[in-house]
Structure 1
């Protein structure tokens, strides 16, 4: 009789151990939503919040006395994949193409042209370092080389949507 009791006990025990419940292993786990890529984050129309030339403030959106008030009209429209438009601080508009470097550390602008041709001293190309990880509300760019239109100074743009 004891062998039958042990056999039944082990059979019942193994049945319960082999069962899974939803509380231990849910059949429909919550899917992990991937973080947006840099390309997805920057794909919008940006305007200047603050601008520095060689570290000297030229514009701050919250200020009423700016050295270069024209930055209130600055726009960098990256909302179309690979194509862009820029409205410079002097009001001139340009269109072109853009791409990101493979490490997402540079914004490369090319084929810029407008009514007067390419922006002064650029040959139609401008490269910006992405100074910090872009967010939905902030994009910080720094020109990789001095910019002729900025008195040959390195430009740092803090942009907001």
Structure 2
């Protein structure tokens, strides 16, 4: 009888372990996963690559570009030319990032810049600006960012 009881206990423990242990790891929401400091890895303006980190010749230097989302809801945003802005940010959906109340207001933005979020990984994200940037000649910019 002891062998049957032991066998039943072990079988039940194994089945319970398989059922509870096989659940996938819960993925944190986009708003938590994007809350990091991001720098430019690659930038496209109107579908033309103008910057790649470490490249010998770039059309524009985005080495100082920085998007600090590490202290929600505060954002610190540094454009390619070194101009710095502070404000608030929100992630109203898994595919939208909105920077608002930016001070001073970046050229032509009224203090708000919106991006479409795609390809969010642990250490990288792709952001597409939803409005043209006056600072780069009214181009639509796609930022491939990394979190070193």
TM-score (norm 1): 0.79
Q: Secondary structure at the match of 2:49?
A: strand
- RMSD over aligned Cα atoms: 2.1
Q: Which position in structure 2 is the counterpart of 1:5?
A: none
| Cα separation, 2, equivalents of 1:36 and 1:43 | 11
Q: Which position in structure 2 is the counterpart of 1:142?
A: 128
Q: Please state how far the C-alpha of 1:131 moved relative to its aligned partner.
A: 2.6
Q: Which position in structure 2 is the counterpart of 1:7?
A: none
Cα deviation, 1:70-92, whole Å, max 9, x if unaligned, reads x0010000001111101110110
Pairing 1:1-161 to 2, within 5 Å after superposition: 20-26=8-14, 30=21, 32=23, 33-69=25-61, 71-102=62-93, 104-113=94-103, 117-132=104-119, 134-161=120-147
The list of structure 1 runs, each at least 4 consecutive aligned residues, that deviate by more than 3 angstroms after superposition, is: 26-33
Larger Cα Rg: Structure 1 or Structure 2? 1
When the two structures are aligned, how many residues end up with a matched partner? 140
Unaligned runs of 5+ in 1: 1-11
| Cα separation, 1, equivalents of 2:76 and 2:143 | 16
Q: Secondary structure at the match of 1:123?
A: coil
| Cα separation, 2, equivalents of 1:47 and 1:157 | 9
Cα deviation, 1:111-139, whole Å, max 9, x if unaligned, reads 001xxx2100000000000132x111111
Q: Compare the two structures and name the one with the higher strand fraction.
A: 2
Unaligned runs of 5+ in 2: none
| Cα separation, 2, equivalents of 1:31 and 1:95 | 43
